[in-house]
Amino acid sequence: MQITNYQPVLSKTEMELIHEKSLYLLENNGEIIESDEILEICKKAGFRVEGQRVYYPRQKVEAALEQAPKDFMLRGRDGRKAFSIREDGTKLAPALGPMNVLEDGHYRPTTMKDMVDFTVLHETSSLMRTVGANMLRPRDLPLSPLDNAMTRLAITLAYSTKPLQTFCEGGEISDKSFEMIKQFYGGVRDEDVYAMICISTASPFRLTQDTCETLLSFCRCNQLLWAQGSGMPGLTTPPTLAGTLLQGNAEKLGIITLSQTINPGNPVMYSLISMLSDLRYTSCVVATPESPYRMMAEKDMADFYGLPSLGTTGLADAKELDYQCGAEAFMMFYFAYHSSPDLVAQSLGVLDSYNTISYEKFIMDEENVQSILKLLSPVAIDEKRMKIDKILKAGPAGNYLARTDKAYREDFYRSSLYFKESSAEWMAQGRPSLEAEARKKYLERIAEYEPGDFDRIQQKIIDQYIPKNLQLKNK
């Protein structure tokens, strides 16, 4: 017994139509590229270039789709946490740049301490497979963009051993990031993939200078790119789902083509987006009924091309940890795991349409994921599991009270967070709130964490970039 496996939401005819019209747009509409270096590369490769506008020949796009690797390994500081991008189903990746924190019911700007604490939560999560130097944008240190990025990266390297996301903030920051990672890891092989980043168009059909510089830097180092077209219907894409899917697909194919033109075989993922718009407020929304549809349709296109896919999940437009937040997050988690992209970002703790991260929601989201993994797993229905002997032994009007059977533990999920006792028992405990229980759990995890030992080079990087009051020590 199992919930029906995922069925594509797009037909083969619809996928072929999106592909053909994407090739048409790239060849006849083109794209603005704000990089003299990439423009020169495109000219030499036989693209038509007019000023900053590049037109993609059909054969170049199709060749790039053939060249892009269909699998690769992601590595972190701890080799035991390396993984193949196509194995083990859907894997979780962190938030991308919230500016606010919701904690204990109050909003405030993100801080460097939040960067440390959320890195610890990601490192200690059994569900989270990667961590991100760009998961927050701390606003409490008056550092230059470069120093701010290097501090965030040093925190990530020091307090997590998992594969990591870095920054799409220009060539200098990307180059310096790779230097620091190599030093901290004690050297890496040229073929190792140890960093990843989202390369997104500024829809419609424009790659900014910072994005181009990051693209070049990652391709020079053979690191992972997420190709993303991130427009919003009626604002930066056509006001229909069909038009939005078409434009997003074309923009992603453009990025994939550039990556393979610059560095054939460069690892790349097809990024799935749930972002839409609410034209009443001209705002971005990420958890409407259409959001999982867009993500699943784009997953179908990734499968059409045979490319690894990256989605988003667990998102909410809600502003606090209320019914709306739980409903939206569960919807996004469910459809992400049901359609099973290889990696999903924005996955734990995010609300307020990407803008805010919550400690309590991080813990609640872990519970959501565990519930959905159980929901989607198969349940055995056979004579052994029917326990006919126990039915006969209990007889009519009997009961099955005894030491908990192993099979019961296998068949039924037991939450470690939600309240399942009677209302009388709950009231006797002082009517604890779910937020309070989640708060207790994340504070315990942060307090119990020990970073391990660092060698001389690692400690030098830590001392150079992480303020003393934020450096974690073994107890």
Does the pLDDT of residue 464 top 80, yes or no?
Answer: yes
Mean pLDDT value across residues 175-186: 94
Question: At 269, phi and psi to the nearest 5?
Answer: -120, 150
What whole-number distance in Å separates Cα of residue 288 and Cα of residue 355? Answer: 16
H/E segment holding residue 423: helix 423-428
What Å distances lie between residue 345 and 197, 274, 321, 410, 471, CA to CA?
11, 11, 20, 29, 27
Tokens representing residue 312 in the block: 């988003």
List the single range of 95-109, 140-154, 157-171 with lowest mean pLDDT: 140-154
- Give SS3 for 147: helix
Mean pLDDT of the residues in the chain = 94
**Residue 350 vs residue 282, higher pLDDT:** 350
- Give SS3 for 112: helix
Task: Note whether 473 and 451 are within 8 A (CB).
Answer: yes
Question: At 10, phi and psi to the nearest 5?
Answer: -100, 140
How many domains, in total, are found in the chain?
1
Closest by Cα among 274, 317, 270 to 294: 274
pLDDT attached to residue 367: 96
pLDDT attached to residue 406: 86
Does the pLDDT of residue 264 top 80, yes or no?
Answer: yes
Task: Note whether 56 and 254 are within 8 A (CB).
Answer: yes
The model's confidence at residue 324, banded by pLDDT at 50, 70 and 90, is: very high
Closest by Cα among 135, 218, 130, 236 to 177: 218
The model's confidence at residue 275, banded by pLDDT at 50, 70 and 90, is: confident
Closest by Cα among 4, 86, 91, 73 to 303: 86
Q: What percent of the chain has pLDDT over 70?
A: 100
Closest by Cα among 134, 145, 140, 262 to 198: 134
The model's confidence at residue 400, banded by pLDDT at 50, 70 and 90, is: confident
Q: What percent of the chain has pLDDT over 90?
A: 87
Mean pLDDT value across residues 378-406: 90
List the single range of 82-96, 236-250, 395-409 with lowest mean pLDDT: 395-409
Residues 6+ apart with CB under 8 A from 445: 120, 121, 124
Half-sphere exposure of 168 (CA within 13 A, CB side): 22
CATH code at 37?
3.20.20.480
Closest by Cα among 316, 350, 323, 363 to 101: 350
pLDDT attached to residue 402: 85
DSSP character string of 258-324: HHHHHSTT--EEEE----EEETTTTEEES-STHHHHHHHHHHHHHHHHT--EEEE-S----SSSSHH
Range(s) of the domain holding residue 467: 1-475
What whole-number distance in Å separates Cα of residue 181 and Cα of residue 75? Answer: 12
- Provide the b/e sequence for 433-465 (b: ≥16 CB within 10 Å): ebbebbbebbeebbeebebeeeeeebeebbeeb
The model's confidence at residue 403, banded by pLDDT at 50, 70 and 90, is: confident
Does the pLDDT of residue 190 top 80, yes or no?
Answer: no
The model's confidence at residue 475, banded by pLDDT at 50, 70 and 90, is: confident
Query: pLDDT digits over 64-79, tens only?
Result: 999 999 999 999 998 8
343-345 and 309-312 beta bridge pairing: parallel
Mean pLDDT value across residues 409-419: 91
Does the pLDDT of residue 326 top 90, yes or no?
Answer: yes
